[in-house]
Structure 1
Amino acid sequence: MKELDAKDRDILRILSKEARIPLKSLAARIGLSRSATTERIALLEKSGVIRGYRADIGQKTETNFIAAFLLLTLTRTPSINVLDQLARHQEVRRVSSISGQLDLIVEVEVPSIDGLNTLRDLIAAHQNVEDLTTLIVLRRDIDRSSLLDRAD
């Protein structure tokens, strides 16, 4: 996959917020033709940058939440069914496959410790999860913007 350029990041930024935006509107907002936009989206999908489209229902109504990292060791990799399970939980914010002794780092935001324990227990019970360690975020000392917000 070629490196993402500004237009690719624009497409990703818009689709991450408006997955069902009409192609005509998306193309107009990024300043490309419909065919060029369609081609870019197809390449992003083919390369795995865009892995799917889904509705994420609900908004956080309160600003108080608990952020945590779940460190997972899997019985085998890749484990698409573990990723599918994680994607079903709206508390899961980010999942990263990593090298080394661990396999996945899962970033979650939950309303309470009970919510964290429930989510943790559901994930740990999966047949392909060998071990799960929980790290609760005490504070964010540095929180830089994502890849989508970087300038060229």
Structure 2
Amino acid sequence: MYRSLDNVDRQLVALLETNARMPATELAKRAGLARSTIHERISRLERKGIILGYSAIVRKTDDTENTRALIYLNTTQKRSSHLLGVLESFPEIRSCFSTSGTCDLVCWAEFSHLEDLDALLDEIALLPTVERVESSVMLASKFEKDSIGATVRNASTLAVVGGQN
């Protein structure tokens, strides 16, 4: 569904899902664009049927929880601050960790649709310092722990070291 959207459109959708009443001036500030550009992009998202209403009803396939995935990156420059900035700008990426072992970075991401994961993987693969991209879709949550280490069964969010995201 979002394959045709660029990073700015996906960022706008994510911001509107978080707060559908966010003023255009705030959306423009967060996206680094003019307010008129934000209005044009939102109108186009409505015409495409991505945004179904001003209460930010974003089309989803059903009411199930979002798909979560781990994205594994091998890079040419392990400590590239530019790459980290680009990864941070993708609204779907919730966390990014440097790792030891077979990959340099692991990102945790969340999606409404598998097509969105596919589109993001394509974009990441084109980044200049990225040599290889792999992913693993999380099938089910067996258990998670909250920030104090208590087990939470059937939780809907991924526990991240030191707290929940």
Q: TM-score, normalised by structure 1?
A: 0.56
Structure-1 residue corresponding to 2:74: 73
Question: Which structure 1 residue ranges, 5 or more long, are not aligned?
Answer: 1-55
Distance change in 2, residues 1:148/1:137 (3 Å): closer
Runs of 4+ residues deviating >6 angstroms: none
Q: Which moved more, 1:59-68 or 1:96-105?
A: 59-68
Give 3-state SS (helix, strand or coil) of 2:15's partner.
coil
What are the within-5 Å matches in structure 2 for residues 3-82 of structure 1? Answer: 57-59=15-17, 64-82=65-83
TM-score using structure 2 length: 0.52
Kindly name which structure, 1 or 2, has the bigger radius of gyration based on alpha carbons.
1
Aligned residues, how many?
94
Q: CA RMSD in A?
A: 2.0
Letter aligned with residue 117 of structure 2: L
Determine which structure has the larger helix proportion and give its number.
1
Shift of 1:113: 1.0
For structure 2, list consecutive stretches of 5 or more residues without a partner in the other structure: 1-13, 19-56, 58-62, 148-161
Structure 2 counterpart of 1:136: 137
* CA apart distance, 1:148: 4.2
Pick closer, same or farther for the CA change 1:148–1:115 going to 2, 3 Å: closer
Q: Write the letter of the residue equivalent to 1:92.
A: I
Distance (Å, rounded) in 2 between the aligned partners of 1:91 and 1:138: 17
What is the CA–CA distance in structure 2 between the aligned matches of 1:148 and 1:114, rounded to whole Å? 29
User: How far apart in 2 are the matches of 1:91 and 1:106?
Assistant: 10
Equivalent position amino acid for 2:122 in 1: D
Identity %: 26
Report 1 or 2 for greater relative contact order, CA contacts < 8 Å, sequence distance ≥ 6: 1
